[in-house]
Structure 1
Amino acid sequence: MAVLALRFEGDPVLLEMAPVVERFDEGLAKLIRDMFETMYAAPGRGLAAPQVGVSRRVFVVDTEWKDADPAPMIFINPQILNHSEEKLTGTEACLSIPDKSYAVSRPSWVVMTWQDLDGNQHEGRFEGVQAICICHELDHLNGLLISQTGTLQ
């Protein structure tokens, strides 16, 4: 495993719509292992492939590891199926925009589908911090940064 170099605001890869993952192979598995190592080293709660210079629809999340046992989650080709009308506004930071934070509104819950490392389809509901983190990382796959969607704090 390796810690990958992060990409920062101003890098064009962060503004691209990441293409769908079609090959579920060892290369993808290695990317995901390296993304987890990079996320934990940063230290962050989520990391999208574009943040390490790879334009693919992949992100990893672990909202628990800083406060409890690690609970790593992998999302490949994620899509939101439904979300709450109720919004939560909170302060978010981003590994690609160091030393700044933004007030961002997110749904209080989301229902999404995604694939795992074997290409199997999953569906789940996420609430609170998990929903916020997932929406933040999904924005990266769509070429959006919190500096575009939030208010500088």
Structure 2
Amino acid sequence: MSAEIAIEKKKLTNPPLELHYLGDRVLRQTAKRIARVDENIRQIVRQMLQTMYSKDGVGLAAPQVGINKQLIVIDCEPDNSTNPPLVLINPVIKQVSKELTSAQEGCLSIPGVYMSVTRPEEVEIAYKDENGCPKTSKARDLLGRCIQHEMDHLNGIVFVDRINNFLSLTQELSEHGFSIQAVKHIP
């Protein structure tokens, strides 16, 4: 990661960006591609990272903070200052494994709700980094799951859309003040 993006991994009392929550229509929009990676985009990346660390997240997509751009920040080791965060600009899934795995997921846009989601075990993506350089990468485990979860946000999908157990989902959402009406089930 370049020094121009490096920020301290700490919680801020007033993070620079405001999170949007399940039910807010900005979470349902399809994000627009970024035409040029410049200092403005890098500033958004810094603000997204500061907001993500402040809210104890490991991933954040631009639509979650009301920015309609194909931009994701991920840090699966927020307590490790030597591990740089991953910046994905205009990410595209090139390939997914046939093997599926289920694991608990949560989301900064649906605080307190954690449910098991089935996703491909491994994913291969193409993207641009914070300097606009094209990259490809394969990921599995937490990073692979996080990439898929955040890429869903770029397509107007939230993880609860992937839950098939409506009874559990309705109960979990209502316990945390969210409505099942905000869910758009993906078969």
Structure 2 residue aligned with 1:39: 52
Q: Superposition pairs for residues 58-77 of structure 1, below 5 Å?
A: 58-66=71-79, 69-77=82-90
| Aligned ranges 1:22-101 → 2 under 5 Å | 22-66=35-79, 69-101=82-114
Greater Rg over alpha carbons, structure: 2
Preserved CA contact (<8 Å) 1:63 1:71: no
Q: Flag the 1:79–1:42 CA change in 2: closer, same or farther, 3 A.
A: same
Whole-angstrom CA distance in 2 between matches of 1:71 and 1:85: 29
**Normalising to structure 2: TM-score of the pair?**
0.77
Question: For residue 26 of structure 2, what is the amino acid of its counterpart?
Answer: V
Q: Distance in 1 between matches of 2:130 and 2:78?
A: 21
Task: Name the amino acid aligned to 1:56.
Answer: K
Q: Which amino acid aligns with 2:132?
A: G
Q: Which has the higher strand share?
A: 1
Moved over 4 A (4+): none
Between 1:28-37 and 1:100-109, the stretch displaced more is 100-109
Following superposition, the deviation at residue 68 of structure 1 comes to: 7.4
Percent of paired sites with the same residue: 37
Establish whether residue 13 from structure 1 lines up as the match of residue 26 from structure 2: yes
Work out which structure has the larger RCO, using CA pairs closer than 8 Å and 6 or more positions apart in sequence: 1
Of 98, 107, 112, which residue of structure 1 is paired with 2:125? Answer: 112
TM-score (norm 1): 0.94
RMSD across aligned C-alpha pairs, in angstroms? 1.6
